[in-house]
Every structure is written in C-alpha cells, then in structure tokens.
Amino acid sequence: MRKVGVAILGLGVVGGGTYRILKSHREFYQKTQGLDLTVESVLEPDKAKLDALGVDPSIVASNIAEVVCNPDVTIIVECIGGDGAARDYVLAALYAGKTVVTSNKLLYAKHSEELERAARQHNAGLQLEASCMGGVPIVRTLLSGLQANIITSMVGIVNGTTNYILTKMTEEGASYEEALENARRLGYAESDPEADVEGYDAVYKLSILSSLAFHTKIPVDKIYREGLSKITKDEISCAGKLGYVLKLVAVGRQSGQGVELRVHPAFVPKEHPLASVGGCFNAIFLRGDSVGETMLYGSGAGALPTGSAMVSDVIYAAKHIDEISSGRKAIADKVKIVTDFQSGFFLRLRLADASDGLSKTTALFARKGISIKKLHRLDGDGKALLLVTEETKESTLHAAIGKLAEGGVAENDLLLRVIS
C-alpha cells in the first residue's frame, strides 16, 4: 500500500472539513483505494481552530517553507482563499514540485496561466474540483466524463447564497433585505456579501467551467455580470404570474459566431430542471453534441461537501501523481467573445393608451422580427403589460424598445433575460 503525505494550508470551513474527512476516512481509503493518506503538515496560525480539530502540535508548521520542504508531503491542499498569500503559497508548492489541490476559484480564474505554467515547468500536479460548485463533480465530469462531446451550452445555478436568497423571496415572500439578513444569520452569506450577491463568485466559476468546456481561456473581465441587489418582490411576482421562477444564472454558449458568457438574474420556466433547485443547492445543465442534455445537482458549499471534492482530488492526484496541471488542453487560438446576446426577454411595459397600445406594440415587434411568447395584462387601468419574447438579439430588442418610447406607445421599466 502506498503512503501519501498531505499538507493543509488553512483550517477554515473547507480546510477543516478536508482535515476531518482525511482523518475519519483513513482506513476506508486504505481498503477501497489502496492508499494510506496521512496529514503530515498543517499551516494555520489560529490555535483555536487547531485545538477544535485536535491537530497534533508536532505537525503544525510555522511558515510555508516548512511545508514545501517537508519530504513527507506529496500533496498540498490550499484552503486559504483570495489571491494574496494563497497565490504565493501555491506557487511555492508548485516550484517545489508538489501537487496542489485547491478550492480557490478566484485564484485559479485570475491566475490560471501562471499556475499552469509553474506546474508544467516543475512537473507538479494542479487539481481544482472544489473550486466550482462545492460537492458537485463538474470539473471531473468536463475533463473525463464528457470529453467525447463538443459542449454547446451550459446554464447553471452556481452560487448557493444567491439561490438561498431567491428561494426565500419566492417561497416565503421575503424581501431581498430580509432574505439576505437570514442568509447571514445562518452563515450562508458573509458580513460583506458583495462577491456573492453582485455575481463575482459566479463569474469566477463560469470562467473556469467555460474554459474547460470550450477548451480555451476565458478571462474573468470578458464575462458580462449583473447582480441581485436591485431585485424586489415585484420581479418575483411577475415571474410567478408568467410561469417562471427567478434565478441568478451563469450562462455559457458557443457557436460559429463565438462564445457567449454572462451572469445575471433570469426567468427560468417552471418546467425547466433548474427551476426546482432551491435553497443553497447548485446545479448545472449542459448540452453536448452527442450526449444531448444532462444535469448535475448537489450541495454547492459547506465544510463536508466541499471537503469531499478536495479529498476526491487528493485521491485522484495520489493515483495520477505524474499528471501535470488539471489535464485541460486549451486551444491556442483566441476565442471570439459574443457581446450581443441571443436570449428570450421579459419586459414590463406601461402603455400610453390601453385601447390600441397593445396592437401597436405587437406590430412594431413583428416588424423588428421579434416573436412574442407570452402576454399578460395586469389588473387596473389596462396599461400595465407583462411580455416575454422568443429568443432574439439584445441589440434588436433594445432598438424595438427605443421605437416604442419614441412613438409614445409604451415605456419599459423592467427588463430581464429568460432562459429557454
């Protein structure tokens, strides 16, 4: 049986979960994987965290040099987060020829080329399953489960905090502020929730997943982003009236025109598999040219779900110790980023005239080549109109909206995209 020494950098939520799994499942992995995985070093300055997990003081390192120079350590698990000290530590590990397993989506999304170059130059491994969607095995699926396919599209709920907030608003009628505060109390949201609610976390994940799915490099700054902070009960109500639920989605699509990448709130049809994904759960819906449609679903965060993904990567790395980087082979050609999105759209219009405003609106849309999928008049004076279009280019839709306003036919006060 082969013994493989592991070091853990950081014993926060993910690092602590990883440590507990490695310790409690050691005999199980010996029996089922033929590996003796031992924690040989821990870098964590907070003594309370060390004591809470019962870490042997003899394996506690005082600096990163002690970790990377430890001959008993083969795999280094990075759970620090951010791209400050974590970047320095990961590079030090790779320079020392150690395999790195990381859950750090921000670090990999922003610095993947530098990290992969270091891994190649020093014959080191680099694994990142836990960086996207917690315990959902999406990275391994893209690398070794769906590699026979050309992936044409992906749409996912990849952030548990925002999904929890929208679920509370939809199912319990909570306001955005109430749902966010509840998420904070339960530990689902940070004291500063900007990375989650403004979509940055989802952008980092989409950058990684679309790079893997489309075999290219997708820079973070090329992904369109809208957050949740402006969402109110009105948007939730409109969605329900038309047969949709509101979700924060990450969308990646490739075609002959290029790659379309966006993170934003969207109406999802109630019959779509993603519509039933509630609470802190994550899911991603993929289309491959051969396999067709498939969806992965599971816990998107937490100590044990994310720790499970980390240990899965440790086991994989231990069995493929000579495999350099994450196994991704990127196409060298630069991909064209599509910015004129093709989507269905939801609009809330205020008609100038209840009697003929509707006919003028539908006629103008028809002239622009925009098909209307759903219409709903709100109670009252008959001037408030909810409308959903079939897929069209964003530029075409905005041109039509502009003509409505110029002609005094209608004013638009709400626009959201719709998942087909």
Q: How far apart are CA 228 and CA 239, in angstroms?
A: 15
Give the count of beta carbons closer than 10 Å to the beta carbon of residue 334.
8
Residues 139, 176: contact at Cβ < 8 Å?
Answer: no
Sign of dihedral through CA atoms 289, 290, 295, 301?
A: negative
Give the count of beta carbons closer than 10 Å to the beta carbon of residue 72.
13
Q: Phi, psi (5° rounding) for residue 116?
A: -70, -35
Gyration radius from the chain CA atoms? 24
Q: Which of 205, 230, 247, 360 is catalytic?
A: 205
- The single-letter code of the amino acid at 106 is L
Distant-in-sequence, close-in-space partners of 48: CB < 8 Å, separation ≥ 6: none
Task: Locate all alpha helices (DSSP H) within 122-232, ordered by sequence.
Answer: 138-144, 160-172, 176-185, 194-197, 200-214
- The single-letter code of the amino acid at 330 is A
Residue 270 designated active-site: no
Render the burial of 396-418: b for 16+ CB within 10 Å, e for the rest: bbeebbebbeeeebbebeeebbb
- 303-319 vs 26-33: helix crossing angle, rounded to 10: 40
Find where tokens 């205020």 sit: 350
Distant-in-sequence, close-in-space partners of 377: CB < 8 Å, separation ≥ 6: 358, 384, 385, 386
Find where tokens 């050691």 sit: 26
Kindly list the catalytic residues: 205
